[in-house]
Amino acid sequence: MTINSGNAITESTFHFKGQTKVYNGKVRDVYTLDNGLLVMVASDRISAFDHILPKGIPYKGQVLNQVATLFLKATEDIVPNWLLATPDPSVAVGYACDPIRVEMVIRGYMSGHAAREYKAGRRVLCGVEMPEGMKENDKFPEPIITPATKAEEGHDEDISREDIIAKGIVPEDIYVQLEKYTRDLFQRGTEMAAERGLILVDTKYEFGIRDGEVILIDEIHTPDSSRYFYADGYAERQRNGEEQKQLSKEFVRQWLIENGFQGLDGQTMPVMPDEFVEVVSERYIELYEKITGSTFEKSDTSNISERIQKNVDRYLEGL
């Protein structure tokens, strides 16, 4: 049974035809089937600093699933991806791949983790030099790729291109391909964001191998994996040293920091008031509408568990 607290899906224990195993990630629950497919349920859980927050965010999973679907379909000409269908607003079905244990992080602007490192006096991130004289949220001369090792649990760790190749995590020829895909995907995402009056600041991509071919997996260009600024007023805010107006999960991290939590030992997760949960939900819906140009249609959340089970069963029976 799915726990449905405040119309948010925070845990799932589905049973699908041909199911062989389940992986519960920070946000997604992935069900492996015996026909080489995956059923990926986008929950309403939200994580920050590699910790899952105590309350679910209504409609967050639907937003993530539908934004990811939009961008996966819009980038099929750049790189093949895992997605086959979205039989439910919060569910994607696609091919199982062998995941490459590296997250390809690309940054067009000096924000978030890069800005925190820069403020600490460091000028090299993942083996990539960051120019002197930059301010937080300034645009890099060229986007930089700052990979991270993909941890099974706990913190992902920064790693350089050289170490990835030297340690044999990814063969050099495959890694070169990952870098090209990453730059091309980021360029496409940047162009699509610009059409909607947004700046794609930074994002991450995950890849896998299927039948010897590199495949784009998971989600892309969602508010969980990406940071967006509003283009209107960006330059003026930078000149005045003001914070950028953004659509991303960074405001959740800032709220946690202000309440004494950064995922460090001995720190206690703060209680999330309902008002804050509502604000987070509204932010996710706002990003969906801004990035797609479409009005968000809230799915029926009266019984999310039953809805998902029924929709996925119907799809699988039709294969």
Within a domain: 17: no
Give Cα separations from 299 to 9, 89, 90, 139 (angstroms). 12, 7, 9, 38
Within a domain: 115: yes
Domain count, the chain: 1
Within a domain: 176: yes
Within a domain: 56: no
Within a domain: 18: no
Within a domain: 178: yes
User: Does residue 250 carry a pLDDT above 90?
Assistant: no
Q: Give CA–CA dist 241/313, Å, rounded.
A: 53
- The pLDDT assigned to 152 comes to 59
Within a domain: 57: no
101-147 pLDDT per residue, tens: 999 999 999 999 999 999 999 999 999 999 999 999 999 999 999 99
Q: Residue 260: how many CB atoms within 10 A of its CB?
A: 11
Query: Angle at the Cα of 150 (from 149 to 152), degrees rounded to 5?
Result: 135
Percent of the chain past pLDDT 90, that is, above it, reads 84
| Domain ranges, residue 149 | 99-251
132-188 pLDDT per residue, tens: 999 999 999 999 999 999 765 556 799 999 999 999 999 999 999 999 999 999 999
What pTM was estimated for this model as a whole?
A: 0.89
68-93 pLDDT per residue, tens: 999 999 999 999 999 999 999 999 99
CA trace torsion 131, 137, 141, 146 (10° rounding) = 70
CATH number at residue 234: 3.30.470.20
Report which DSSP code applies to 53: -
